[in-house]
Each structure stands twice: as structure tokens, then as C-alpha cells.
Amino acid sequence: MTPFKSVPEGYQSHWEDTERIVVAALTLEIADLLRQQTGATEPTGADSIAALYAAFDEPTEIHDPAVQRLLPDATDDVELAAEFRRLTQNDLAMSKIQALRRWAKLLTADQRNIDHGLVIVPRGQARAVAAALTDIRLVLAQRLGLETDDDVERLHAALFDGGLADDIRNYWASVFVTVGYAQQSLVDEMIRDLRASGRPAATWD
């Protein structure tokens, strides 16, 4: 893939078909993992009553360490952390799931972009996409056992020094780096736009 560049339609980069397919499939897998682990419900239509009741229930306990990292405890105070989780976990999980699905859709839904090898992130979706890219990397890092800055630097070094001995590890390490490259270039352009626009109010969309 090429770095994202600012264009009138948003932020654009070129992706190989395999990159697009691998990252889109992984993205949807992580969205499903989040949904399974949290039991997150959509706050819409017939589900809204269920979602309202859910707010008074104990939130689903998360067992997957990667999902625990996506939805960490808000404080050392056990009671306050539980209260925070009860009030926010469903919404946070749902917004992450929606952002991941949105990103997967941007990768796969527009046949004309696919034909041209393009991925275009509209400006209004860029924050959600950047957050989704972080979430993807957080899950991959947990699966790869990357716990410190040094772990990541060693992984990069090994990857660019002929690759890792373990093929599967090498594959996911490559995806980790590719998604990071996408995020880095996307965020560089977003920062440029943010500074050029004179700092708009912080909104998700």
C-alpha cells in the first residue's frame, strides 16, 4: 500500500488486493470478537428497550486479554471501575464495533475504488477509522505477545532483517506493520488538516 494522501474526497491510498482482503477480514473478525466478548447490543429500533435494560445489568465479564485492553478498567477503585463499566462498556464496545465495520466497508464496498486499487477514507470518518486501526493493532500486538516498546522494535528489526522464522508469526507481524503504516500516514494528513482548519471542536464525525 501507499501512504494516505489528502484528496478532495478524503484521504486516499493504493492497496494491493491481498492487503485489502486480509485487513478487511481481520477487521470484521475483531468486530465479532468484541461483540462476542461484551455481548454488545445496538441501541436502535427494537433493541433499544433491551439496551436500556442492559444498562442496569452487570456488564458481561471480558475474558479475552486483547478485548480487556480495548476496554480497560477506568480506575484502580474497584467499585468505581465496575460502575464505569456498567455505564459505558456497551456504548464503547458498540462504537468500536461500528468503527471497525465502517473501515471494513471502506476497504471492500466500493467496486470502482477496488477496480482502481484505491482506499478512500472520507474526512468525516477519519477519526473512527484511525481509532479502528489502533484497535486492530492492539489485538494483533496481544496475539503476538508484544508488551513493551522494545518488543515492537525487535519485531520491526527482525521483520526487515529477512523476516521471522515462524511463518504464521511473520504473517501477522507484517499485517501489524502494514496497518501501522496506514495509520501513521492517515494521521499525518489528519494532523495537517486539523492545524490548517484552525482546530475545530472535537467531534467523532
Partner 1 sequence: MTVAPVLPDQALDYDLAEQADVDEQAHTAEPWITIVWNDPVNLMNYVAFVFESYFGYPEAKANKLMLQVHKEGKAVVSSGSMERMEADVQAMHGYGLWATMQRASD
Residue 177 in the binding site for partner 1 (CB under 8 A)? yes
Q: Is residue 11 within 8 Å of residue 186, measured between CB atoms?
A: yes
Q: Is residue 164 within 8 Å of residue 158, measured between CB atoms?
A: yes
Among 41, 106, 120, 31, smallest CA distance to 70 is for 31
Which amino acid does the sequence have at 124? G
CA distance linking residue 41 with residue 113, whole number of Å: 32
Residue 138 in the binding site for partner 1 (CB under 8 A)? yes
Residue 194 in the binding site for partner 1 (CB under 8 A)? yes
Residue 187 in the binding site for partner 1 (CB under 8 A)? yes
Q: How far is CA 164 from the centre of its chain?
A: 25
Q: Three-state SS for 120?
A: strand
Q: Three-state SS for 115?
A: helix
- Select 49 or 181, whichever has its Cβ closest to partner 1: 181
CA distance linking residue 153 with residue 198, whole number of Å: 35
Segment contacting partner 1 by CB under 8 A, of 47-55, 90-98, 100-108, 117-125: 90-98
Residue 114 in the binding site for partner 1 (CB under 8 A)? no
Residue 92 in the binding site for partner 1 (CB under 8 A)? yes
Q: Which of 105, 123, 127, 169 binds partner 1 (CB under 8 A)?
A: 127
Residue 190 in the binding site for partner 1 (CB under 8 A)? yes
Q: Which of 26, 67, 70, 119 binds partner 1 (CB under 8 A)?
A: 70
Q: Is residue 24 within 8 Å of residue 104, measured between CB atoms?
A: yes
* Interacting residues with partner 1 (CB under 8 A): 1, 16, 18-19, 22, 69-77, 84, 88, 92, 95-96, 127, 130-131, 134-135, 137-138, 141, 146-149, 151-153, 156, 159-160, 174-175, 177-178, 180-181, 183-184, 187-188, 190-191, 194-195, 199, 201-202, 204
